[in-house]
Each structure stands twice: as C-alpha cells, then as structure tokens.
Amino acid sequence: MSQPVVDLQDIVVTYRAGFLGGEAFDAVRNVNLSINEGETLGLVGESGSGKTTLGRVCLGLLAPTQGAMRFGGAPFGKLRQRRGQLSVVLQHSEWALNPRLRCGASVDEPLIILGVNAEERRKRVAAIFDSVGLGDGYVDRYPGQLSGGQRQRVSIARALVTEPRFIVFDEAVSALDVSVQAQVLNLIMDLQQKYGFGALFISHDLAATRYVSHRIAVMYRGEIVEDAPSERFYGTPDHPYSQMLMSGLA
C-alpha cells in the first residue's frame, strides 16, 4: 500500500469580504481527501465550486481557516521549506511561462531556488526537455515562438525538473486543441509511470479528467459530493450532480 503524499483533514476555507469583518463565505467546507504517491486524483466541478481554492491549499499557497494539511506524513510547514517537493502546471498556456525568459531559464528556475550547481542544472534541464518530448532546440527559445501545446510541455518540464512528489494540474489542458490535449494527457500519464509523483488534476472537463485520473472527486458548492474510482464515471455515478456532469458526455 503506497503512502498518502497529501492528506487533507477537515479543511475549511472562509473568505471574508472587506478589510475587517464583513460577510463571511465558506469556499471550501469540511473537505477530507488524500492523494497517494503515483496516484492522480481528479477534481471536477464548475467555476465557483471551490476547486481552485482547494488546489491552492494543496500547494501551500493558502492556509486553511480550519483543518490541517499533511505532506508526506508530516505537517506542511512553510512553502520555502518544501521547495522542490511540489509544483504546479496551470492553464493559459500564454501566461504559464514568463515571456521575457527563454524556456530553458524558466525550467532552470526551480533548480536555482533549490541551490543546485550550474553543471548539474544544465544536465537536468537537458534531460527533462528530452523527457517531455522537446529537443535541445527549445531550451533557447522564447515562449512566444512556441505553440500552445509546446508551451504546456515546457510548463510540465518546469514542474518535473526537481522530481517533486506532488504536482497540481489546474485546468492544464483546457485551452488546448483536441489532438494536442491527447498528447499532453498521454505525456502526463507516461511521466507519472516514470517518476511516480502524486497528482491533483483540477478541471471542469470530466472527459479529460476521467481519462487521466485514478480517482475522481466531484466538488459542488465547496463540498466533495462524490469521491470514487474513475471507472464509476464511465458508468453511472451516485450523486445527482455527478450524473448531471455525466449527461454532458452522452
């Protein structure tokens, strides 16, 4: 039995409107979730359902109002102490990479932050470009010279270069063309086989999520209303909201 890499216990996130006091609203309510090494958990729901907020909690960017996040069996602590252990791949391929940096420099950055020496960094950057199916030629290019699918490959390379234990994919394939989407989804699955990271795949697209995930959690108004193996979502899931999402796939 593999270890949970991320373990969320009774997470509540409350947003307050205004500077002091103001109206409070629970974006995430009593969420319990755990993600194992080598496992992908899909998180689906509409915008405003709290899935992005939950993703930020898993990345340590947002401290939950209540509850605790454990990472690799220990309390999460500070993001800076966890550097190299987790990463993220985001939507909007045109803004996922700093347009002023060459792709190689973007991928290099997590290693610089980790304090890896220059020689080693150069080797690892070259190797990871190879792993995501981009040749040497891409290291010196700027993001503006790349297609959406290529930019997303560079984003994945940047996320993987430190060989983290956990990666969040937030709408990572939503902006891509169908054929490119399939390439990137296959790449994510192959890389997971190779590196064994745990993953949270956040998307409003149930079809892509079902394809790439082992388990799927359905979020509705801040709560997880269903958490089941992906196979359930090829048949009839339990919760009425899940069934409604499924109807879009018929």
From candidates 14, 34, 66, 183, binder to another protein by CB under 8 A: 183
Residue 192 engages another protein in binding (rule: CB under 8 A): no
| Minimum CB–partner distance for residue 138 and another protein (Å) | 14
Q: Please count the residues of this chain forming the interface with another protein, following the rule CB under 8 A.
A: 60
| Minimum CB–partner distance for residue 137 and another protein (Å) | 15
From candidates 8, 128, 159, 218, binder to another protein by CB under 8 A: 159
Residue 80 engages another protein in binding (rule: CB under 8 A): yes
R_g of the chain computed on alpha carbons: 18
Site for another protein in 109-138 (CB under 8 A): 109-110, 113-114
From candidates 46, 120, 130, 140, binder to another protein by CB under 8 A: 46
Residue 52 engages another protein in binding (rule: CB under 8 A): no
Query: In this chain, which stretch among 3-11, 30-38, 69-77, 86-94 interacts with another protein, using CB under 8 A?
Result: 86-94
Measured from the CB atom, is 47 or 236 closer to another protein?
Answer: 47
Task: Write the secondary structure of the chain as one string of H (helix), E (strand) and C (coil).
Answer: CCCEEEEEEEEEEEEECCCCCCCEEEEEEEEEEEEECCCEEEEECCCCCCHHHHHHHHCCCCCCCEEEEEECCEECCCHHHHCCCEEEEECCCCCCCCCCCCHHHHHHHHHHHHCCCHHHHHHHHHHHHHHCCCCHHHCCCCHHHCCHHHHHHHHHHHHHCCCCCEEEEECCCCCCCHHHHHHHHHHHHHHHHHHCCEEEEEECCHHHHHHHCCEEEEEECCEEEEEEEHHHHHCCCCCHHHHHHHHCCC
Binding site for another protein (CB under 8 A): 19, 46-47, 59-61, 79-80, 82-84, 86-92, 95-101, 106, 109-110, 113-114, 147-148, 155, 158-159, 162, 177-183, 185-186, 204-208, 210-211, 230-231, 234, 244-245, 247-249
